Amino acid sequence: MRFVLLHYHILKNAGTTIEDILDRSFGERSARFDTSDREGYISNAALLSFLERNPHLQAVSSHHIRYPVPEAPGFIFFDMCFLRDPIDRVRSMYDYFRKKPAVGDGPSDIANQSGLGEFVARLIERLTYQVNDVQVNLLANGGMAEQPAGPADLDLAVKRMRNSSFLGVVDRSHESFIAGQHLLAPVFPNLDCAQPPANVSAELGSTLDERVRTLRDACDPRVYAELLRLNALDFELLNRAREEVERRFQQVPDQTARLRALAERASPAPA
């Protein structure tokens, strides 16, 4: 039986940090598998074909694989997924595209033509799907729903979140790492989540509240209210994910000592 860890990489949800963790933990047994299109799609059949061509792989990270987790004879898959405050995620998208523009990409072009508040307003007006319950839609529908997510999509997203082998929340990252590593240690003993954050677009040391306030203050009040409305289901998913991460963290032996040790090892190196 072959065990494979799948990282469902949602844009600006600490994915580069996770990829670094997988690279360091698995080395050449880890791989990234994406299409050339940022909004591309890799079917489970294509994923299985990729794994069969690369029998040494134990971990795969991809922006373009989609739920549900595949099932196939000879394989047992473990999924890894991190969620994030949807407002903080939009702010991070703006900072990221300003630092690493991708000419011809809609959100990137808007970010590099706009201030933060205008970026949010133009996404809502022109590319609503980019800021409308994105995480619920990805977990429930693979990001390909023709209609906005609804209560049934939230129920499915919550079910998949709670069934996730390694669940993470960005603002609970250390608790997520400790709980996930503990749960998967019998299957992946080399998994080591003590990794400084990578590809961070926010100022180091800033709090979630500070970052959200920065975006709120940059927006017209009506635009910000609409952004909150468009992400009501994502906020509900996030709150339940935080509760689930806390539940898993409390089941880890010596969790306080492990949290302290992880914080020390994962601190960014001095400049």
From the first residue on, what is the mean pLDDT of each consecutive set of 10 residues in the chain (271 residues)? 98 96 97 91 97 98 97 98 98 96 94 98 97 98 89 98 98 97 97 78 75 98 98 98 98 93 74 44
pTM of the model: 0.93
Task: Indicate whether 106 belongs to any domain.
Answer: yes
Domain boundaries, position 56: 2-265
The answer to whether the bond into 68 is cis (omega within 30° of 0) is yes
pLDDT reported for residue 269: 52
pLDDT reported for residue 265: 81
Strands 166-169 and 30-32: unpaired
Task: Indicate whether 270 belongs to any domain.
Answer: no
pLDDT reported for residue 200: 58
Quickly tell me which residue has 């990578």 as its tokens: 198
pLDDT reported for residue 204: 53
Quickly tell me which residue has 């300003």 as its tokens: 98
Domain tally, the chain: 1
Domain containing residue 86: CATH number: 3.40.50
pLDDT reported for residue 271: 44
d(CA 153, CA 255): 33
Task: Indicate whether 237 belongs to any domain.
Answer: yes
d(CA 65, CA 69): 9
Task: Indicate whether 271 belongs to any domain.
Answer: no
Task: Indicate whether 121 belongs to any domain.
Answer: yes
What's CA 107's distance to the chain center, in Å? 18
Task: Indicate whether 77 belongs to any domain.
Answer: yes
